[in-house]
Amino acid sequence: MCGIVGYIGNRDAYPIILNGLKRLEYRGYDSAGIALYDGTNIQLCKTKGKVSDLEKRVKKEIDTKGSLGIGHTRWATHGVPNDVNSHPQYSNSGNLVLIHNGIIENYATIKEELLKRGYTFSSETDTEVLVNLIEDVKKNENVKLGKAVQIALNQVVGAYAIALFDKNKPDEIVVAKLGSPLAIGIGDDEFFVASDASPFIEFTNNAIYLEDEEMAIIRKGREINVRKIKDDRSVDPYVQELEMNLEQIEKGGYEHFMLKEIFEQPSVIKDTYRGRLLANKGIIKLGGLENYIKKFTNADRIIIVACGTSWHAGLVAEYIFEDWARIPVEVEYASEFRYRNPIITEKDVVIAISQSGETADTLAAVKLAKEKGAFVYGICNVVGSTIPRETHSGTYTHAGPEIGVASTKAFTTQITVLTMIALKLAKIKGTIPYSDYMQHLRELELIPSKVEEALKANHKIEEIAEIFKGVNNFLYLGRGYNFPVALEGALKLKEISYIHAEGYPAAEMKHGPIALIDEHMPVVVIAVNSNHYDKVVSNIQEIKSRKGVIIAVVTKGDTVVKEIADYIMEVPNTEEALSPLVTTIPLQLLSYHIAVMLNRNVDQPRNLAKSVTVE
Ligand code: G6P
């Protein structure tokens, strides 16, 4: 995991790197560090804690001169989060300084070798091993920095995005990538390096995304030299024009990114279907799908692989695909799928869902499915990320940058894309009547305004949050399409408030969770209009007769549940299949308000990271 930033040019590197690190904190935030070079002295400062802690220390401890610099925000893998284990890491001579995102799996063997040769280590990190390996190669083989990096990386097993410089080369940064993302921003006579493009978006729209096993030697005032790490072949890099803008990645007046992202949902759902859904004409057009329709319609089954919230979106899709397109679907945790010798054939379609496009387990599942001959389709948010490049085809969600660690708008936009795919396939296969198809299309087009309406309950939900903020356990129940929403609601609460919450299929409650119910146990029940409405009402009665406290998500105008429930959160009426797009809104808001009231770090909850690029 971790975020890395680098700069080389004519400006002061410090503010660029500091701001960049703040934007990358979603990748990890247990320690941070920076190294600046003015051509004479290297100034290095690092600390356990957040980028704001680093900023305070920098003010007190170092001179911020220098137009070359690198910075790092960490999510610990090897070694506890402390000052010493933070990056950057020096080589023994003090000449090389390196930052690293990833894991060097064979670091222990390399370290043993280096120890024998007299190297010493002050940290427990695999990064310090790597920087000394590069130094050792450079010295023994008498080669330049770029060559030394290449030779060293060929001895390394694992994943990395690295950036380093040499005290003897004040105009050069070397970067390399395998498994972790690395973008290079190209300005006028200046270059930026970062885990994603957000740190340099106000300076340039032109970027190169390094491919796996590529490295680049970046020299001020010169062309970037991109090479293959394995065989030193020179590569002609593809310069991509970026779509992101600065406003998109700032809070826009909201107290937290999470709240901003919750409220963005009406507009980003629209962005997701804009130009793709032409409801009046009965058309769905997804660029990535058009050439591969047959792969889907001929598939024996669809296997969906994902993690976290994206996995919940996959569960919703299972209901939609089977219901409308009549294609069997299996939804798998990517981390289980990749290691359990799954049966995959050339007649399977694998859909990988990932907001970041970088989740290590999902990426590994994609690679495995490809090896086994399946057709692999990606549904991702971050343009240019690794999964979209590894899959055969796919669809971007276009939700814009999601910064809050707890995923919200990614979830609803993923469901929007999956719904469009299912509808398109249903139409082609003729598994639903045309009139139903048209009705679903029109209803999907109305979802942004319905989400908007659901958001109006914000204040009321805040009042409910106030009542329940002191509770230690929550149960979330839903049936059918809304069972995955119950799981997602519980996950949201756990993630940001640290309150234990469990999501369950409402009917399954009788087989266990019902034993937990007493007057202290709030039960959030999704009880909107559906085929199972009466059954859910019975489930609510079962809870009430055991003194449980009910917070129900109901359809506006509901009278039955309103009578029995203790508290209600209303959402507008929609089709059952599309209801997860609105029922999830009050659950996001409930968890948000409880977390704020408990003084939690909503955007950066403890122990979590936005993008899990380690197994
Ligand atoms: C992390 C994030 C979650 C996210 C999951 C999958 O755990 O904290 O919010 O759902 O990773 O991430 P992806 O980027 O693959 O959707």
- Give me the pLDDT at residue 247, please: 65
413 & 468 share domain: no
Q: Give the up-direction half-sphere exposure of residue 521: CA atoms within 13 A in the CB hemisphere.
A: 20
291 & 393 share domain: yes
Is 475 part of any domain?
yes
C-beta 414 within 6 A of ligand 1: no
C-beta 405 within 6 A of ligand 1: yes
Is 546 part of any domain?
yes
Show the tokens assigned to 525.
């029940």
Question: Is 2 known to be catalytic?
Answer: yes
- Give the E-state strand segments of 273-428 in sequence order: 277-278, 283-284, 301-306, 329-333, 348-354, 375-380, 393-396
Is 156 part of any domain?
yes
Show the tokens assigned to 571.
């959402």
Give the SS3 label for residue 70.
Answer: strand
198 & 209 share domain: yes
- Tens digits of residue pLDDT in 175-207: 999 988 899 999 999 999 999 898 999 999 999
- Give me the pLDDT at residue 159, please: 87
Q: What is the CATH number of the domain that holds 502?
A: 3.40.50.10490
179 & 204 share domain: yes
298 φ, ψ (degrees, to nearest 5): -90, -5
Lowest-confidence segment of 144-148, 318-322, 377-381, 510-514 by average pLDDT: 510-514
Read off the amino acid at residue 215: M
- Give me the pLDDT at residue 79, please: 72
- For the segment 580-609, the average pLDDT, to the nearest whole number, is 95
- For the segment 360-381, the average pLDDT, to the nearest whole number, is 96
Is 609 part of any domain?
no
377 & 397 share domain: yes
Which of 262, 305, 307 gets mutated to test ligand 1 (max ligand atoms within 8 A of its CB)?
307
132 & 280 share domain: no
C-beta 308 within 6 A of ligand 1: yes
Q: How confident is the model at residue 515 (pLDDT cuts 50, 70, 90)?
A: confident
C-beta 132 within 6 A of ligand 1: no
C-beta 608 within 6 A of ligand 1: yes
122 & 188 share domain: yes
Distance CA 410, CA 396 (A): 11
- Look at the chain and report how many structural domains it folds into: 3
Which residue is catalytic, options 177, 260, 295, 610? 610
- Give me the pLDDT at residue 250, please: 73
- For the segment 151-175, the average pLDDT, to the nearest whole number, is 96
Higher-pLDDT residue of 399, 593: 593
C-beta 27 within 6 A of ligand 1: no
Is 339 part of any domain?
yes
Residue ending a domain, among 248, 281, 296, is 248
Q: Give the up-direction half-sphere exposure of residue 381: CA atoms within 13 A in the CB hemisphere.
A: 26
pLDDT for 613 beyond 80: no
pTM above 0.85, yes or no: no
Is 615 part of any domain?
no
Q: Where are the alpha helices (DSSP H) in 340-433?
A: 360-371, 386-390, 409-429
Please tell me the distance between residue 308's alpha carbon and the centre of ligand 1 in angstroms. 5
258 & 244 share domain: no
Q: What is the CATH number of the domain that holds 224?
A: 3.60.20.10
For the chain, what is the mean pLDDT?
A: 94
C-beta 604 within 6 A of ligand 1: no
- Tens digits of residue pLDDT in 408-446: 999 999 999 999 999 999 999 999 999 999 999 999 999
Q: What share of the chain in percent tops pLDDT 90?
A: 84
Task: Specify the residue with its C-alpha closest to ligand 1, atom 5.
Answer: 308
Residue 609 CA, closest ligand 1 atom number: 8
473 & 537 share domain: yes
Residue ending a domain, among 453, 471, 505, is 453
Task: Specify the residue with its C-alpha closest to ligand 1, atom 2.
Answer: 610
- Give me the pLDDT at residue 422, please: 98
Which of 25, 337, 354, 356 gets mutated to test ligand 1 (max ligand atoms within 8 A of its CB)?
356
Residue ending a domain, among 208, 231, 248, is 248
Q: How confident is the model at residue 553 (pLDDT cuts 50, 70, 90)?
A: very high
- Give me the pLDDT at residue 1, please: 64
- Give me the pLDDT at residue 253, please: 77
- Tens digits of residue pLDDT in 302-320: 999 999 999 999 999 999 9
Is 608 part of any domain?
no
- Tens digits of residue pLDDT in 241-264: 987 777 667 777 799 999 999 999
Q: Which residues pair with 96 in a beta bridge?
A: 166
R_g of the chain, CA atoms, integer Å? 26
404 & 463 share domain: no
232 & 334 share domain: no
Is 612 part of any domain?
no
Higher-pLDDT residue of 329, 78: 329
Please tell me the distance between residue 307's alpha carbon and the centre of ligand 1 in angstroms. 6
Task: Quote the domain boundaries for residue 527.
Answer: 456-598
307 & 434 share domain: yes
